[in-house]
Structure 1
């Protein structure tokens, strides 16, 4: 049964990769096989494992999934409101000129993604940046380049602060790196993004027309936008100083948004119910996350990830960390990082910084390797596993340059 479950997990990832060829929606296939492997765990338990133990394992995984789901739901509801009211589009009109060179536009979008993902989490940053991208109405080929750049930039920006990436927070809380150490990742992250940007500039010439339809922004919409910014800021503050889970802060912010919307629209009875904006959420994305996380959770329960520390016995630590980053493009970086932290592997601060960058950015190599990639695949219709895969050589180069820069900067400073 162990091998049957592993085979089903492999099949699930193959179906995700081959979605364009088999014409089976990745959300449906991942959810089907993700639940199937857990059903088999209950029906055909391994020797010495009873139903209560399997239930406990499932509950642990469902807690992680529910946390992500609720956070996504809250963030996506904010973004759905802002997008439907045109605030994101209006923000683009106010930032970008009427005509802008494609190269300059790519640079501005990359820097925005880097900065925003450092302050907010990767999921929120991805939702905002991809909404900005979709509002620009670019050609398909150009959109694919922008999407690959934004996924890499969002993941790169997230590694430099504990608020940007879960694995960065895990390594920080374990006492392996300090806040000042993480600041040293910023120039390396920027360098990696610039390298990728340079490789994508081929054929990017001429100017783009940015349609400008400026209109006044309603006062209530400004209030909701401010609440969104305040929710992000308070989430960061309370997470760092009071260890409040980000999902709790975001749900509280969402409740404040609901109440504020009702108060602001109390004299307009014909206004749309704020709860209707939840229907704007793309549940394909949430179902896909659910299926993938069930599959990854089973990989963890089958002890597949327990073999990871053996890498450090057959190659130097810096090389093993680099490979772990590559693996994070296939397997969720959170269990990978947890396995390494629990293994007791002895590394100095420089190597822990290298691991922080590797696990945070390595997932960018494949579209299914990070939350930013999964969200991009659901938001950008032309983006698929196959269309993203052709950027792999350039992504690998940018990742390698960024990783080398982390080690070089850390060794020269520490």
Structure 2
């Protein structure tokens, strides 16, 4: 492969990264930028590689492997997000929230309840949905701008923290799991240090939150079919964990079967013949913009692996211990989207212990919370909360760094205690 082609392909990857960072400046959707440059880079690789038959075959195999990995991730996310889209549309999620909230509550207590809800809900749903639901609740309270920003900051950190211990909660966790670096039961260990870090942050942010909040409780009508589908969602999550542990069944297979079960329940147990949306229509409600962004990013990372550019990432792990390198990767994920960063690390062939892989899972999952632009949850919250800006969020940067560090240290320590080095 010529050096010119390699430089061009690396340049396209850099342009894609700049397109993500500068999305608000150039007003071009990051999904469109990354998808075009991801597909175009592979096109160039096919057309302008050397005439060697071995290299041509290697590129073909590399692309097939890349697409296969993306397909597994895509199908899993489509199934999980369809479940959540249905339950959210039917008001089931809002009902669960209001079930635990009184009409009057102290701001301090509400802050802790918000943290607990965000942590649990983001383990089951995608980060974007969890953030949207939580932010909508916060905005309905009519708090002052300063307190709203404080709540939103907690939401971002709690949502990102909740997703790291289950494959249904965070894309980077799912990616690391699908590569066989961690196992489901090992991931569950992360829930304790991650939850503890969220509670510490809630405690730090609760200073001065002493007023009483009035909550308008309005329950949505719940039909039997909605309850059955909610039960099917919970059963799918539990069976996915059990099937993988006992039989090694891929999570994507269990979630596709769960989604099919949801369709059948809606078809045979729904008495409402005038349903506004067919059950299949809920697939269109999911965040395809996010899925297309992942597709473009993973195509770019696959291309960088193919031209052996990712080998440079390994050098940090040759210079620094994995404990330190993983921590820095988490901090870096606040500036570089954690999806391409995680994909690059997985493709780089890094060798670490199980405890270190769990530490990396926590780092890249939670590290993006250090800056409001560092995660999908932060971007969504910033778009919905008027007072939440880069600067207003940055006021809590030091507190977030301290809490992130405590969670990371606790995660690695617990993993080494249970799994050994």
Please, what TM-score do these two structures have when normalized by structure 2? 0.80
Q: Larger deviation: 108-117 or 92-101?
A: 108-117
String of CA shifts for 1:360-392, please: whole Å, max 9, x gaps. 4334445676xxx33663586337994797354
Q: Larger deviation: 382-391 or 97-106?
A: 382-391
String of CA shifts for 1:9-46, please: whole Å, max 9, x gaps. 12222221122222222222222222222222222226
Name the CA shift for 1:105/1:11 in 2 (closer, same or farther; >3 Å): farther
Match of 1:318 in 2: 323
Q: Larger deviation: 51-60 or 266-275?
A: 266-275
String of CA shifts for 1:261-310, please: whole Å, max 9, x gaps. 11123572666321122222232222222222222222332323323332
Unaligned runs of 5+ in 2: none
| Equivalent of residue 54 in structure 1, options 53, 59, 68 | 59
Name the CA shift for 1:313/1:303 in 2 (closer, same or farther; >3 Å): same
Name the CA shift for 1:267/1:150 in 2 (closer, same or farther; >3 Å): closer
* 2:105 and 2:212 in contact (8 A); partners too: yes
Shift of 1:255: 0.8
Name the CA shift for 1:263/1:8 in 2 (closer, same or farther; >3 Å): same
| Equivalent of residue 8 in structure 2, options 4, 10, 13 | 4
Q: Larger deviation: 349-358 or 209-218?
A: 349-358
Name the CA shift for 1:279/1:311 in 2 (closer, same or farther; >3 Å): closer
Match of 2:346 in 1: 338
Cα distance between partner residues in 2 of 1:375 and 1:274: 27
Name the CA shift for 1:187/1:203 in 2 (closer, same or farther; >3 Å): same
| Equivalent of residue 26 in structure 1, options 30, 34, 39 | 30
Match of 2:379 in 1: 377
Cα distance between partner residues in 1 of 2:208 and 2:346: 42
Match of 1:305 in 2: 310
String of CA shifts for 1:99-153, please: whole Å, max 9, x gaps. 33333223222223334555x4xx5465345334435534677665545434433
Match of 1:285 in 2: 290
Cα distance between partner residues in 1 of 2:371 and 2:60: 32
Cα distance between partner residues in 1 of 2:250 and 2:164: 18
Match of 2:132 in 1: 130
Shift of 1:205: 5.5
1:86 aligns with 2:86: no
Cα distance between partner residues in 1 of 2:273 and 2:183: 52
Q: Larger deviation: 376-385 or 72-81?
A: 376-385
Match of 1:230 in 2: 235
Cα distance between partner residues in 2 of 1:386 and 1:8: 27
Match of 2:253 in 1: 248
Match of 1:37 in 2: 41
Cα distance between partner residues in 2 of 1:249 and 1:182: 18
Cα distance between partner residues in 2 of 1:25 and 1:202: 38
Cα distance between partner residues in 2 of 1:284 and 1:178: 28
Cα distance between partner residues in 2 of 1:382 and 1:27: 20
1:218 aligns with 2:223: yes
Name the CA shift for 1:78/1:200 in 2 (closer, same or farther; >3 Å): same
Q: Larger deviation: 31-40 or 142-151?
A: 142-151
Name the CA shift for 1:263/1:141 in 2 (closer, same or farther; >3 Å): farther
Name the CA shift for 1:53/1:375 in 2 (closer, same or farther; >3 Å): farther
Unaligned runs of 5+ in 1: none
* 1:328 and 1:336 in contact (8 A); partners too: no
| Equivalent of residue 110 in structure 1, options 109, 115, 125 | 115
Matched length: 402
* 1:177 and 1:352 in contact (8 A); partners too: no
Cα distance between partner residues in 2 of 1:66 and 1:351: 27
Shift of 1:257: 0.9
